[in-house]
């Protein structure tokens, strides 16, 4: 079975631009979560998608938005980038009614905002 | 709301020595508890979890953790570490409902010296 894959692995943007990050979930998983991990910090929950609907959101502004597609892959979009958006963005897939904490993480997309 | 505090940002130990990584949490409701490990340039991997039952839980790679409800702690231990244990370790909690939306601590960097 294939694991969680994310693209791109690294990217550089300037303040005010928009970015789209992509995630392919592990085979058979119907839930995708996104986390932001700033340098030296633990991951912070952005939002979760289940069957193409947002299923919970953390404390992030509306310029952070997402999509989940029928094949359960997902996108994270960030508009009007700010310097503090520089971070590692982690995608995790799971089963909505799977075992607690059983999330499978990708290796992340590292975003640098200049 | 929940919060997690990892009391040590860095822990250096010698190979084959024992190690303890400390984690305290705060929550007004019952929670599940987890430890994740992040190796360099990789995503997070679940080490172990406490859901209910025995307060001593065993995980992968010889790690174990003990849940202490009165002290709201969930410390991670290993009796003898190996060079390959060098990584960042994250303690996390989730509510019983929504058990895949995790709140992480800031992480502890474990460095093993030969």
Chain A residues with beta carbon closer than 8 angstroms to that of B98: 56
pLDDT of B97 reads: 74
**Across chain A, where does the E strand assignment appear?**
5-7, 10-13, 19-24, 31-37, 44-50, 53-57, 64-68, 74-78, 87-94, 104-105, 109-113
Q: How confident is the model at residue B99 (pLDDT cuts 50, 70, 90)?
A: low
Taking the CA of residue A3 and the nearest CA in chain B, the distance in Å comes to 11
- The full DSSP string for B8-60 is -SEEEEETT--EEE-EEEE-SS-EEEEEEEE-TTS-EEEEEEE-SS-SEEE-G
- Distance CA(A106)–CA(B44), nearest Å, equals 8
Structure confidence at residue A6 as a pLDDT band (50, 70, 90): very high
pLDDT over 60 (residue A12): yes
Using a CB-CB cut-off of 8 Å, the residues of chain B touching A88 are none
Q: What is the mean pLDDT of residues B16-41?
A: 93
pLDDT at B25: 96
What is the nearest CA distance from A43 to chain B, expressed in angstroms? 6
Mean pLDDT of chain A: 92
Backbone phi, then psi, for A31, in 5-degree steps? -125, 135
B33 phi and psi, to 5 degrees? -130, 145
What pLDDT does A32 receive? 93
Q: Please provide the average confidence, as pLDDT, over all residues in chain B.
A: 93
Question: What's the whole-number mean pLDDT along residues A39-50?
Answer: 93
Which of B49, B94, B105 is opposite residue A42, by nearest beta carbon? B105
Residues belonging to chain B with any Cβ–Cβ distance to chain A shorter than 8 Å: 4, 6, 9, 32, 34, 41-46, 49, 51, 90, 92, 94, 96, 98-107
Q: Give percent above pLDDT 90 in chain A.
A: 74
Residue A1 is predicted with a pLDDT of 54
* Model pLDDT, residue B98: 66
Interface test with B, best of A42, A54, A97 (most B CBs within 10 A): A42
Given a cut of 70, whether residue A19 has pLDDT beyond it is yes
pLDDT band at A51 (very low <50, low <70, confident <90, very high): confident
What is the per-residue pLDDT for A106? 94
Classify A6 as helix, strand or coil.
strand
What pLDDT shows up at residue A98? Answer: 64
pLDDT in tens, B44-58: 999 999 988 899 999
CA distance B55 to B40: 30
- Minimum Cα–Cα distance from A37: chain B residue: B106
Each residue's pLDDT tens digit, B60-89:
999 999 999 999 999 999 999 999 999 999
- Give the Cα separation of A49 and A57 in Å (integer): 9
**What pLDDT does residue B96 have?**
78
């Amino acid at each position: 079975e294939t694991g969680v894959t994310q693209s791109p692995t690294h990217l550089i943007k300037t303040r005010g631009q928009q970015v789209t990050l992509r995630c392919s979930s592990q085979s058979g998983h119907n839930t995708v979560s996104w986390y932001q991990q700033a340098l030296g910090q633990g991951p912070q929950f952005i939002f979760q998608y289940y069957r193409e609907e947002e299923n919970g959101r953390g404390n992030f502004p509306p310029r952070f938005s997402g999509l989940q597609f029928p094949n359960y892959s997902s996108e994270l979009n960030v508009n009007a980038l700010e310097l503090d958006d520089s971070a590692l963005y982690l995608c995790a897939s799971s089963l909505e009614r799977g075992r607690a904490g059983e999330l499978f993480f990708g290796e992340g997309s590292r975003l640098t905002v200049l | 709301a929940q919060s997690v505090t990892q009391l040590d940002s860095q822990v250096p130990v010698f190979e084959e020595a024992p190690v303890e990584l400390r984690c305290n949490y705060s929550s007004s409701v019952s929670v599940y508890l987890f430890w994740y490990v992040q190796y360099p340039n990789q995503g997070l991997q679940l080490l172990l979890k406490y859901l209910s039952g025995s307060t001593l839980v065993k995980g992968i790679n010889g790690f174990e953790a003990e849940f202490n409800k009165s002290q709201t702690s969930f410390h991670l231990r290993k009796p003898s570490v190996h060079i390959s244990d060098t990584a960042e370790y994250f303690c996390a909690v989730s509510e019983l409902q929504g058990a895949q939306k995790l709140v992480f601590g800031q992480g502890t960097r474990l460095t093993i010296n030969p």
